[in-house]
Amino acid sequence: MGKLGNHMKLLCKGDGIDLITLLFFSCGEDTEEINIDDKIDVVGGIGINVWNGNEEIQFLVKEWRVST
């Protein structure tokens, strides 16, 4: 995602959460380590994306790791 392809958007399911959009900005190649059905831990904050009259809650990821 993005002009340089250095951002990523994931639609994820979490504990107690049906679906939420995770946004990784300036993430580079390290996100190539994430595979379908992986469990990951994330740190960041909640934001609201407003586009074309629609509002969507999203989580802006600052740091992440594969869950152990």
Each of the 68 residues of the chain gets a pLDDT tens digit; together they read 666 666 778 788 767 767 788 888 777 666 677 778 888 888 999 989 898 999 988 888 898 888 87
Q: Is residue 27 part of a domain?
A: yes
In a domain, 53, yes or no: yes
- Asked if the structure places residue 56 within a domain, the reply is yes
Q: Does 1 fall in a domain?
A: no
State the amino acid at position 67 in one-letter form.
S
Are 18 and 37 a contacting pair, CB within 8 Å? no
Which pLDDT score, from 0 to 100, does residue 29 have? 64
How many domains, the chain? 1
Beta strand pairing status for 54-66 and 17-24? parallel
Range of the domain at 27: 8-66
pLDDT for position 44: 92
The pLDDT value recorded for residue 17 is 67
Answer whether residue 3 is part of any domain. Answer: no
Supply 39's token pair.
């469990």
